[in-house]
Amino acid sequence: MAKSDNLTRKIDKRLPGELVAFIQHAGRLADSKGERLYLVGGVVRDLLLDKTNLDIDLVVEGDAIALARELSDDEAGKITIHKRFNTAKINWHGWSIDLASARKESYARPGALPTVKPGSLSDDLCRRDFTINAMAIGLNPGGYGRLIDPYGGQKDLGGRMIHFLHQKSFIDDSTRIWRGLRYEQRLDFQLEPETLRLLKRDIPMLDTISGDRIRYEIECILNEEFPEKVLRRADELGVLAKLEPALKGNGWLAKKFQPAREASSPSRPPAGLYLALLTYNLNSEQRDKLISYLRLPGALTKTLQDTAGIKDKILQLADSKIKPSAVYHLLEGYSTQSLTANLIASDLPIARQHLRLYLDKLRTIKPILTGNDLMKMGVPQGPRIKEILNRLFDARLDGRIKTRQDEEGLVKPG
Ligand code: ATP
């Protein structure tokens, strides 16, 4: 076990001073109430890996909501309470700190959400997914900085292993299958052999999980730095096929995710762009099935459908003889993400050129003359106005006219 002063130093090194002061204050407050407070989960794992993680999860052996209320009063933080789960979130100086009462979970049936009861820290750690996530650090003044590691998480960090806590772990909750692959690829670890064996054995259990929960896991994956690594691994193990047999996490996908990042830099690519690439080669039936299984929200659904709509027109776009105005009319109304997805996914150079032309230039073009201008020029009110405006717009898209005078020259009021 690491020496307590060791972890105190890591905390000081990896967390900002005001956050350290906050958790120390929280530890003293809990202590004064006769409760024990701990830092838990991902932040402990990352402190031991010498990485900064500012998602602070605290667990108290006691009443999390009461403690959070007192803390937010003392520190003037904004608090959000979830009575049902006995948890609270404190937003304080731009930090977000989650506080939960230690709990014990049991599963009525595989894949169901667990039944939750108050419990000890030890109960709370034993419900967790992997050993490296099942560690805690004491925050009470008496044991501040002390690592609590009942399952050998620190050893597994050293051995770079993703290791379950018990043999039924993936049966109780098979979202842990996706989580395991995510941690393995993010940290460049390996699934410990027995964990890998049971993970493979329990892949059919993914059928017990609701589409909403799987969607959450997929979103987490798409928020990783290199989601394609997780998707490749999921493909290799047959986990991706469980989502949709036609999905592929192969080299093609890896080649497309890198330009997606470049197109989105400096921020991460939005989930919609990644998902549009992942589902690019599905047919409409497969795509619709996936959209409804994952219950994708409207905006994401539109991105995937727009992407497919553009893909259906890709051969028309690959014709080098079509005019810019025709490109415009093929692509107008589609979202930027779906246009970008096609730009990245298509292997047809002329189609790509046309998509680029639309994204960089055509979609920003507007005619100068308005309907009012036309009426002032003597065009009678009615459908002819729209006709002329369309003609002017196409002429402008095709570069045949450039100035207001050019436009006026094209208007024949009669
Ligand atoms: P990340 O670095 O991806 O945020 P995290 O470890 O903070 O990882 P969260 O999803 O925020 O992950 O979950 C917090 C903690 O809750 C995890 O560290 C893990 O101990 C536990 N946990 C989350 N989901 C599960 C699950 N399905 N089964 C068991 N434990 C879980």
Q: Hey, whose CA ends up nearest to atom 4 of ligand 1?
A: 42
CA distance 236 to 210: 23
Is residue 26 located within the same domain as residue 117? Answer: yes
Q: How far, in Å, from the CA of 176 to the mean position of ligand 1?
A: 9
Note the pLDDT tens digit of each residue in 48-63: 999 999 999 999 999 9
For residues 139-173, b (16+ Cβ closer than 10 Å) or e, as one string? bbeebbbbbbbebbbbebbeeebbbbbeeebbbbb
Q: Are residues 53 and 130 in the same domain?
A: yes
The pLDDT confidence band at residue 308, using thresholds 50, 70 and 90, is very high
Instruction: Enumerate residues 6+ apart whose C-beta is below 8 A from 349.
Output: none
Q: Is residue 392 part of a domain?
A: yes
Atom of ligand 1 nearest to the CA of 134: 20
Q: What is the pLDDT of residue 114?
A: 81
Q: Is the CB of 55 under 6 A from ligand 1?
A: yes
Q: Give the pLDDT confidence of 164-199 residue by residue, as tens digits.
A: 999 999 999 999 999 999 999 999 999 999 999 999
Measured in Å, residue 42 CA sits from the centre of ligand 1 at: 7
**Residue 274, burial from CB neighbour count under 10 angstroms (0-12, 13-18, 19+):** buried
Nearest-angstrom CA–CA distance, 191 and 358: 46
Domain CATH for 110: 3.30.460.10
What's the pLDDT at 409? 87
Mean pLDDT of 148-161: 97
Do 90 and 15 belong to one domain?
A: yes
Given CA atoms 238, 239, 242, 245 in this order, what sign does their dihedral have?
Answer: negative
Residues 40 and 60 occupy one common structural domain: yes
129 lines ligand 1 (CB under 6 A): yes
In the chain, count of helices (H) and strands (E)? 23, 11
Whether residue 37 is contained in a domain is answered as yes
Give the residue, by CA position, lying nearest to ligand 1 atom 7: 42
237 in any annotated domain: no
In a domain, 18, yes or no: yes
**pLDDT(132) > 50:** yes
Q: Which residue has the higher pLDDT, 129 or 115?
A: 129
> What's the CA-to-centroid distance between 202 and ligand 1, angstroms?
20
| Cβ atoms 177, 196 nearer than 8 A | no
For residue 32, the CA-to-ligand 1 centroid distance in Å is 29
Could you tell me if 400 and 360 lie in one domain?
Answer: no
β-partners of residue 103 are: 118
Average pLDDT over residues 234-262: 94
- Number of Cβ atoms within 10 Å of the Cβ of 254: 15
Quote the ligand 1 centre to 133 CA distance (angstroms).
Answer: 7
pLDDT in tens, 394-406: 999 999 988 898 8
Whether the pLDDT of residue 220 is over 90: the answer is: yes
* Among 158, 175, 197, residue at a domain's last position: 158
Q: Check whether residue 352 and residue 389 sit in a common domain.
A: no
Could you tell me the pLDDT band of residue 142, with boundaries at 50, 70 and 90?
A: very high
**173 close to ligand 1 (CB < 6 Angstrom):** yes
Q: Are 6 and 64 members of one domain?
A: yes
Cα–ligand 1 centroid distance for 312 (angstroms):
40
Instruction: Extract the tokens encoding 199.
Output: 């993970």
- Ligand 1 pocket mutation pick from 39, 126, 133, 226 by most atoms within 8 angstroms of CB: 133
**Chain CA centroid to CA 20, Å:** 28
| Residue 199: HSE in the Cβ half-sphere, 13 Å Cα cutoff | 27
Q: Terminus-to-terminus CA distance in the chain, angstroms?
A: 91
Is there a contact between 157 and 57 (Cβ–Cβ < 8 Å)? no
The predicted structure's pLDDT at residue 3:
45
- The answer to whether the CB of 180 is under 6 A from ligand 1 is no
Rounded alpha-carbon distances, angstroms, from residue 165 to 16, 178, 221, 394:
32, 16, 22, 65
**Assigned domain for 86 exists:** yes
Token pair of 340 as six digits? 């970008």
The number of beta carbons lying within 10 Å of the beta carbon of residue 389 is: 19
Ligand 1 contacts CB of residue 133 (under 6 A): yes
- Rounded mean pLDDT, 213-232: 96
Residue of 142, 135, 119, 145 lying closest to 23 (CA atoms): 145
In a domain, 256, yes or no: no
Final residue of a domain: which of 102, 129, 158? Answer: 158
Nearest CA to ligand 1 atom 1: 42
Which residues, other chains included, contact 17 with Cβ-Cβ below 8 Å and sequence gap of 6+?
Answer: none
Per-residue pLDDT at 2: 45
What is the rounded distance in angstroms from the CA atom of residue 16 to the CA atom of residue 56? 12
For residue range 1-31, list pLDDT tens digits in order.
Answer: 444 447 999 999 999 999 999 999 999 999 9
Nearest CA to ligand 1 atom 21: 128
Residue 113 in contact with ligand 1 by CB distance below 6 A: no
Amino acid, res. 266: P
CB 395 within 8 A of CB 410: yes
pTM: 0.91
pLDDT digits (tens, 9 = 90+) for 97-111: 999 999 998 888 887
Residues 71 and 77 sit within 8 Å (Cβ to Cβ): yes
Q: Do 386 and 314 belong together in one domain?
A: no
For residue 130, how far is its CA from the centre of ligand 1 (angstroms)? 9
Per the structure, the count of domains in the chain is: 3
Residue that finishes a domain, picked among 124, 139, 158: 158
- Pair 121, 150 in one domain: yes
Tell me if 356 sits within 8 A of 346, measured CB to CB: no
Residue 328 and residue 404 in one domain: no
Residue ID of nearest Cα to ligand 1 atom 8: 42
One-letter identity of residue 10: K
Percentage of residues in the chain with pLDDT exceeding 90? 81
Q: Give the structural domain span for 387.
A: 371-411
Residue 414 has pLDDT above 70, yes or no: no
**Gap between the Cα atoms of 108 and 100, Å rounded:** 22
Cα(165)–Cα(156) distance, integer angstroms: 12
Is residue 140 in some structural domain? yes
Average pLDDT, the chain: 93
Query: β-strand 36-40 against 136-138: which pairing, if any?
Result: antiparallel
pLDDT category at 413 given cuts 50, 70, 90 is: low
Does ligand 1 come within 6 angstroms of the Cβ of 128?
yes
Dist CA 123 CA 103 (whole Å):
6
Burial of 83 (0-12, 13-18, 19+ CB in 10 A): exposed
| φ, ψ dihedrals at 154, nearest 5° | -65, -40
Task: Tell me how far apart the alpha carbons of residues 62 and 12 are, in angstroms, rounded to a whole number.
Answer: 26
Q: Between 196 and 367, where is the model more confident?
A: 196
Does residue 190 sit in helix, strand or coil?
strand
Q: Whose CA is nearest to atom 18 of ligand 1?
A: 41
Rounded Cα gap, residues 125 and 187, in angstroms: 21
